[in-house]
Structure formats: structure tokens, C-alpha cells
A and B are shown apart, each in its own frame.
Chain A
Amino acid sequence: MTNGAPIPTFRDPAGSLSLEGAFAVRTIHPSAHDEVMQFVTSKFCALLQDRGDMIAITVKNTTDGLQLLHPRVPVPTYPWEWTPSQWLAAAQLTLSLCAEGLDEGWVLKDATPLNILFIGSRPVLVDVLSFERWDPAPKEYPSHIWLAYGQYVRTFLLPLLMNRMLSWPLELSLFKRDGYEPADLYKALSWSQRLSRSAFWPVTLAARFDAKDGDKSAVKTAPQHKAPELALHLLKRTISSLRKQTQRAMPDYAGSEWSNYTATLTHYSAQESAQKMDWVRSTLQELKPARVLDIGANTGVFSALAAEQGAEVVSLERDAAAAESLYRMTRNSTLSIQTIHADLSRPTPAAGWENHETSGLLDRLEGQSDLVLMLAVIHHLILMEQIPVCAILDLAHKLTSRTLVLEWVPVTDPMYQSLMRGRDDLYGSLSEADLLKACEGRFQTLRRQPLENGRILFLFAKQ
């Protein structure tokens, strides 16, 4: 839709990744060939793939050198589209794999959320070149130092901490590829926050050391090595400490606003809600879609309904609280539901170097679903985002490959009235006829089900 597929990656000295057809192809640079082969043929690597903690690898020797083929993740999401619990899950996986790798003689050389993708509700390490041999006596730094520690703190811990302490949105990670510097955050915190248990070590102390040693080289020469056993012990202590700090950086969701969220979301009576559920369930049972995109998924009631029918579901929700609740529901179930915290009316753009390192949200969603659900969402797009009906239908036409389920909310609906806020001249005469007119050339009506509250459920087929 906008910028197309991302360009091959270029930062890792060990190799480069490009997307080619059904595969993500990782080309290994000759200097890293032996070490990469050692890793991909190790029992540890096989174990991680079997468990589903790491993306599957097929080794291919070509005339151009060694290549690793990975299956494409249907809808990749980036950290700026994750809820706090998704960040935590990705962080915990990173630290667990690093600790486990140390027992097998491997260590993560980088530790950023960008190494992780979600498949359903499960985080998966996709950057398989992150593992390198652990060196008990490196030339450039002491053996008990984890070089990726700084990157982990900047890219995992500090964004979560600032989300908790200052309500800085996690979406800001779009603009901070390498995360936050402690010195920048130090300035933003109050004295009591600087001295708090969560911030003192990774922000206050780190910023003070930055100010003191700013002109010195980060990695000192002539390192003092500890005995391998002690160095391993210290590395594991470091990882364990990071795990605790990350857990403490999570927002506290115990408040009544959160716990009551689901209950306050519905604008249906129990009977009306059951009528809508029955109609959507029977439609899903009849169509049996393999992939469903649920736009405005809320806390995931209809996403779960689709997943229960065997679909792989991508759930899009712009409200942070609802998206978090949705992810928590999926994490505790076996249903294949992938949460995306994003706004369809302001979709996340392509980013990175020349806007080609990561693709925009719509590029990733286009044509990926054979059924798109737009339940109780169209009036928000019309009234709050001021998107014309024909433009909404146009986008839905691009997103679905076969069918669209849409809930039409009439002007008389209390929710519509409250969102209209006196703009009757503009929106007070919008009717079902306008919706059907916008469908012309795009969708054919297969089914129409009026509900007792005046809303209407439609099943459209893509033309």
C-alpha cells in the first residue's frame, strides 16, 4: 500500500536478512560461516526450534554461500504495536534464552525487542544470529560482562519503566531504535522517582556514571578475567537481576478502572448481545475462514469466537487498556490470536532507514485475511476520525481477500448520538442506504440481520 517489503538488514556483521516469497532468507557472511554452522547444528538450537521459542531454520548451501531459510510470519508486529504484557513476554523470552544458552556455551550478542516476533500470543526469537559462542577470556572486556546488557536496558527495561513512571507510550519505541539513554530519562524524573527502587539502578546510577565517565572509552583494555565458573555465575546473576527489574517495571493493573473495563465496554443488553453472538458464530461456522482480522477487537470476545472455529486471528485494538486485556486473555488460552495495539485510522508507518527497515501496518495486513470483522467500529471511524464511509469500505476491500462482516450503527443509536456531539448537519442523516451505496463495486451483500437495538449485521462478499 505504501512502501512495500523491507530492504535486507545490514547491521549485523554476521549476516543479512531479506524477504523472498514464502521465506525469510538469511545470508551468512563468510567470516561468520563456521560459528553459525556450529550453532545451527547444535542440540541447543534444535531444542529451541522444537519448543517453538526460536523460528524454524532450514540450512541451505548455495553458490553464494550459506543461507538459512525461515518460514515467513504471516503478520509480523513490531514493539511499537505491543501491549506492556507483550513487552514483558518478549523480555522474559530473551533473558531465559540467554541464561539457557550460557549453560550450553552460547550467549546473546544483542538483546532488543526487534529480535522477537509474535506468532499468535507467543513470542518467538527470529534473529538466530543473535547467539554467538561464549568466550571465557575475551580480549576486549572482562568475561563476566554481558555486552548486550546495555542494549537490553535501553530497549526493554527503560521503555517499560517510563511507561509505568511517566506514562510515556510504548509506541514511542518507533522513534527510538536503540531505546532510551539513562541520562535523558534522569532529566525527566522527579527526585523521588530518581531515588525509587525501580529507577535508582538503571537510570540514576547509570546516568551519574555516564556523566562521570562520558569521555572515556566504554570498553576498557586489558580486562581482568574471572574464573569461568565465577564468570558464568555472575552473568546468570546479572540476567536474574534484569528479570526482576523488568517485572518491577510493569504497569500496575490492579486499579478498578482496569478490572471493570470489560464490564463497561458493552452497549448491549444480554439478549441483544446473545443475538449478535449467535449470528456471528453461525456465520463463522458456515464460512470457516482460515484467517480472520478483527478490527476494533476490544477485549477479544469475537476474536475468541473466530479462533474457536479454527481460524488464525489477528486482533487490532487501539485502546491500550482493552488491548492489554485482550493479550492477557489470549496468553492464558490455547487460541490462535495475535494482538496488535494500533489505530486503523492512524496506522503505524514504515520506519527505519529510508522508511524501509520495517513496513507499515497496512502493508502487513493487506490481503492476509479471508474474513474481516468490523463490529461496532464503523461509527467510531465516521464520527471520531471523520473518515467517509466509502473510504472505510475501500480499505476493508483491500484488507479482506473474501468476506467482510460489518455492524452498521444507525443514527438513532445512543452511542452514535453521543459521538455525534451536535454535528447533526454533517452526520445526522447518514443511513444504511449510504453504506450500501459505498459497497457498490466493492462488496455484494450476502446476508443482512437487523438486531433488536436497531443495529444491523451485514455479511459482504468481496467483488
Chain B
Amino acid sequence: MAYVDPGTGLLAIQSLGSMLAAAAFFMRRRIMALFNKKKPLASAESRLAVRKEDSRNPA
């Protein structure tokens, strides 16, 4: 419940600030995701390496 006067202009600048912060939040997530793509690649490579090692050590 709005107990205190939220104002008009002040509510608008808060919304504007939040929009900017939300945009930054998503941009950062995208950038982080770009770097995080290396991890699945790395893990795939390591899995491949394990398989190769396995193939070199037949029982």
C-alpha cells in the first residue's frame, strides 16, 4: 500500500534508473554468458581427452 507520497517526477526517475540498471544487468549476463561458453567447450575437450586416454590403456 502506498502510505507515503511516491511523487510523480521522483517515481519517474526511479523507473528510469531501474530501466538503465536492468539493461546493464542483462548486458552483463550476456557478456558473462559469452565467457561462460568456454567452460562447456573446455569440459567437452577434457571428456574427449579422457576417452583418448582410455583408448590408449586397453585392459
Contacts and interface: CB of A to CB of B under 8 A. Distances in A.
B41 interface: no
Contacts of B11: 145, 149-150, 218-219
Contact of B2 (A141, A205, A208): A141
B25 A218 contact: no
Interface stretch (A231-239, A359-367, A399-407): A231-239
Interface string A29-46: 000000000000000000
A110 interface: yes
B35 interface: no
Given A234-B22, A237-B21, A238-B18, A150 B5 contact: yes
B32 interface: no
A43 B53 CA distance: 54
A245 to B, nearest CB: 10
A153 B18 CA distance: 16
Nearest to A214: B8
A183 B21 contact: no
Contact of A149 (B1, B3, B14): B14
A219 B2 contact: yes
B6 interface: yes
B33 interface: no
Contacts of B16: 205
Contacts of B1: 13, 109, 140
Contact of A201 (B3, B13, B25): B13
A250 to B, nearest CB: 20
Interface residues of A, number: 43
A149 B12 contact: no
A146 B17 CA distance: 12
A213 B7 contact: no
A149 B2 contact: no
Interface in A85-131: 109-110, 112
Contact of A182 (B4, B9, B17): B9
Interface in A311-346: none
Interface string A198-211: 00011001111111
A241 interface: yes
Interface string B36-55: 00000000000000000000
A205 B13 contact: yes
A191 B9 CA distance: 19
B31 interface: no
A205 B13 CA distance: 7
A13 B3 contact: yes
Given A219-B2, A230-B25, A238 B14 contact: yes
Contacts of B9: 182-183, 205-211, 213
A304 B31 CA distance: 55
Contacts of B21: 233-234, 237-238
B3 A147 contact: yes
B22 A218 contact: no
A151 interface: yes
Contacts of A421: none
A51 interface: no
A387 to B, nearest CB: 41
A236 B35 CA distance: 26
B4 A209 contact: no
Given A149-B14, A214-B8, A233-B25, 7 more contacts: A142-B18, A145-B6, A151-B6, A181-B7, A218-B8, A226-B22, A237-B17
Interface of A: 12-13, 109-110, 112, 140-142, 144-151, 153-154, 178, 181-183, 201-202, 205-211, 213-214, 216, 218-219, 226, 230, 233-234, 237-238, 241
27 contacts: A109-B4, A112-B4, A140-B1, A140-B2, A141-B2, A147-B3, A147-B4, A147-B6, A149-B6, A149-B10, A149-B14, A151-B5, A151-B6, A154-B10, A182-B7, A182-B10, A201-B13, A209-B13, A210-B9, A216-B8, A218-B2, A230-B22, A230-B25, A234-B25, A237-B17, A237-B21, A238-B18
Interface of B: 1-18, 21-22, 25
